[in-house]
């Protein structure tokens, strides 16, 4: 009997051990399953919702920011240990800023901003945005970052080959953006030794990709020099500069007004003579306040000592007529004075023969005068000549034409009144 009890007790002990082992295994399996479910759930409920770069495209040595936003779309908070940006090609300036993050609540989001610096070469690089969860698991996301060192382009649209010292000329520049992202705060500043500009600077502002704008400067050089345009602009927060240098050559250019006198006739004699002809502006700019007179040894006299033409546009002309005395002189200096657009006064002197009753030969020279000429005398009306009809009207036989017109009018009136029929009947009788 004693032996049977021992056998039953042994079986009971073995059964109890088996039950404990099975229960322990079930508990371990349950814990392991819970951990796996938690890990998978954490990775699934956290997602990247936005990525932004400033600037959108870097230039070499630029610094910019990469901002990544993550959100928790689950129903339970997520513990985050650290967040990093890993890159071998780009320098992460604020590395290890987010070594301790904390908990991201359900339905909430967090933003992480990293300062990047492009080191030395063009290309597209992929730094890794890395999230390390506290309990288990991690998330990696490659972010494309493009580096392109293409600069904005500045070219000359219009510029004179040579400049005149002390005179303003216009220079037109074209500014364009060949980059794939916009640039901001584009400003152009002219400069150079002996250079005066009508604009100290011109602000263009933003240039979108493939956009082009034109600007015009009024440049006045004092001497032969170099004209330097400094162009500044921003790519994101980074300031960049470009320069454009133009040589300034000083020389004579046929862009101002150029006076030509032709068709000269000298008539009269005795106490005075009359000089008539045409004045033409053969230059490329307006001649203003044009006057015609004579100088020593000739003396201007009434009734037309000075003839005022007024303004002559390029390729415009006007007739003139002046009276003078020149006793004993073989040549008469004919003086044409005018002003340019800046108000400077010029004189052209033409030597004409004092012989009367025929066309006179003309030779001339010019000089810059410090003051304005006298404008006494008959006004020509802004370059249109006598009666305002331009060249040659003074030579039209006005009196004979008026006599013929008057005779025609008298004949028509006599015919309508019947005077012609009465005269004809008298002759018949």
Query: Does 16 score more than 60 pLDDT?
Result: no
Q: What is the pLDDT of residues 41-54, one digit of tens each?
A: 566 689 999 999 99
Task: Kindly report the three-state secondary structure assignment for every residue of 119-185.
Answer: CCCCEEECCEEEEEECCCCEEEEECCEEECCCCCEEEEEECCCCECCCCCEEEEEEEECCCCCCEEE
Same domain, 243 and 283: no
Percent of the chain with pLDDT over 90: 53
Highest mean predicted confidence (pLDDT) among 17-26, 251-260, 285-294, 392-401? 285-294
Rounded to an integer, what distance in angstroms lies between the CA atom of residue 426 and that of residue 429?
5
Whether the per-residue pLDDT at 290 is higher than 90: the answer is: yes
pLDDT for the residue 27: 37
Which pLDDT belongs to residue 253? 62
pLDDT band at 119 (very low <50, low <70, confident <90, very high): confident
Model confidence at 144: pLDDT above 80: yes
Count structural domains, the chain: 4
Domain boundary among 92, 116, 147: 147
Pairing relation of β-strands 259-269 and 145-147?
unpaired
Residues 264 and 388 occupy one common structural domain: yes
Q: Does residue 194 sit in the same domain as residue 263? A: no
Spatial distance between the Cα atoms of 197 and 221, rounded to a whole number of angstroms = 9
Question: Given a cut of 50, is residue 164 above it in pLDDT?
Answer: yes
Q: Which pLDDT band holds residue 155 (cuts at 50, 70, 90)? A: very high
**Within-domain flag for 318:** yes
Do 319 and 362 touch, CB atoms closer than 8 A? no
Alpha-carbon distance of 230 to 236, in angstroms, equals 19
pLDDT tens-digit readout, 365-406: 555 544 433 333 333 334 443 333 444 444 456 777 887 888
Walk across the sheet containing 259-269 and list its strands.
299-300, 317-325, 272-281, 259-269, 358-359
Q: How far apart are CA 342 and CA 281, in angstroms?
A: 17
Domain that holds residue 54: 45-147
111: left (phi over 0), alpha (psi -120 to 50) or beta: beta
CATH of the domain at 183: 2.60.40.10
Rounded CA separation 26/33 (Å): 11
| Helix or strand (DSSP H, E) at 104 | strand 102-104
Q: Is 11 domain-assigned? A: no
**Domain finish residue from 248, 269, 291:** 248
Would you state the pLDDT for residue 170?
92
Element at 85 (helix H, strand E): strand 78-86
| Residues 408 and 391 both lie in one domain | no
CA–CA distance from 264 to each of 257, 287, 299, 323, 385 (Å)? 21, 20, 18, 13, 15
In the chain, % of residues over pLDDT 70: 76
Contact 334, 266 (CB under 8 A): no
Same domain, residue pair 200 and 188: yes
Closest among 321, 334, 324, 315 to 386, alpha carbons compared? 321
Q: Does 29 score more than 70 pLDDT?
A: no
- Do 326 and 313 share a structural domain? yes
89 domain residue, yes or no: yes
HSE-up of 371 (CA within 13 Å, CB side)? 3
Question: Is pLDDT above 60 for 28?
Answer: no
34 inside domain: no
Cβ neighbours of residue 29 closer than 8 Å, sequence gap 6 or more: none
Q: What is the distance between the alpha carbons of residues 228 and 154, in angstroms, rounded to a whole number?
A: 12
- What CATH number is attached to the domain comprising 108? 2.60.120.570
Q: Is residue 362 part of a domain?
A: yes
Mean model confidence pLDDT for the chain: 81
Residue 10 has pLDDT above 70, yes or no: no
Q: Report residue 183's pLDDT band, with 50, 70 and 90 as the boundaries.
A: very high
- Cα separation, 107 vs 49, in Å, equals 12
Q: What is the pLDDT of residue 33?
A: 32
**Joined tokens for residue 81:** 């240990």
C-alpha 116/C-alpha 94 separation (Å) is 8
Query: What is 310-342 written as a DSSP string?
Result: EEE-TT-EEEEEEEEE-TT-SEEEEEEEEE-TT
Q: Are residues 380 and 282 in the same domain?
A: yes
């Amino acid at each position: 009997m004693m032996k049977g009890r021992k056998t039953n007790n042994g079986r009971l002990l073995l059964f109890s051990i088996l039950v404990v082992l099975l229960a322990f295994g079930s508990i371990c399996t349950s814990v392991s399953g819970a951990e796996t479910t938690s890990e998978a759930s954490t990775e699934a409920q956290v997602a990247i919702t936005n990525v932004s770069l400033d600037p959108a495209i870097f230039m070499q040595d630029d610094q910019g920011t990469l901002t990544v936003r993550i959100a928790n779309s689950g129903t339970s908070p997520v513990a985050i240990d650290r967040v990093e940006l890993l890159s071998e090609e780009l320098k992460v300036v604020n590395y290890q800023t987010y070594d301790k993050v904390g908990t991201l609540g359900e339905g909430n989001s967090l933003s992480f901003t990293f300062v990047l610096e492009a080191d030395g070469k063009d290309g597209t690089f992929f730094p890794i945005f890395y999230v390390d969860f506290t309990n288990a698991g991690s998330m990696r996301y490659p972010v494309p970052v493009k580096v392109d060192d293409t600069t904005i382009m500045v070219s000359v649209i219009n510029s004179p080959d040579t400049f005149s010292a002390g005179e303003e000329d216009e220079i037109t520049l074209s500014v364009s953006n060949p980059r794939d992202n916009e640039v901001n705060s584009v400003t152009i500043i002219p400069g150079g030794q002996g250079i005066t500009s009508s604009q100290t600077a011109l602000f263009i502002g933003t240039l979108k990709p493939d956009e082009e704008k034109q600007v015009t400067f009024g440049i006045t050089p004092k001497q032969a020099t170099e004209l330097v345009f400094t162009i500044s602009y921003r790519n994101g927060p980074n300031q960049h500069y470009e320069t454009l240098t133009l040589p300034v050559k000083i020389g004579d250019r046929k862009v101002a007004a150029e006076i030509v006198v032709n068709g000269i006739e000298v008539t009269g004699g005795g106490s005075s003579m009359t000089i008539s002809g045409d004045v033409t502006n053969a230059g490329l700019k307006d001649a203003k306040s044009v006057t015609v007179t004579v100088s020593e040894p000739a003396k201007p006299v009434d009734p037309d000592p000075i003839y005022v033409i007024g303004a002559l546009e390029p390729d415009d002309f006007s007739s003139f007529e002046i009276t003078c005395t020149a006793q004993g002189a073989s040549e008469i200096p004919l003086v044409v004075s005018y002003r340019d657009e800046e108000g400077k006064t010029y004189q052209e002197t033409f030597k004409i023969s004092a012989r009367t009753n025929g066309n006179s030969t003309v030779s001339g020279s010019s000089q810059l005068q410090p003051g304005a000429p006298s404008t006494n005398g008959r006004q020509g009306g802004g370059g249109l000549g006598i009666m305002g009809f331009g060249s040659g009207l003074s030579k039209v036989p006005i009196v004979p034409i008026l006599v013929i017109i008057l005779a025609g009018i008298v004949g028509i009136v006599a015919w309508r009144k019947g005077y012609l029929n009465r005269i004809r009947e008298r002759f018949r009788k």
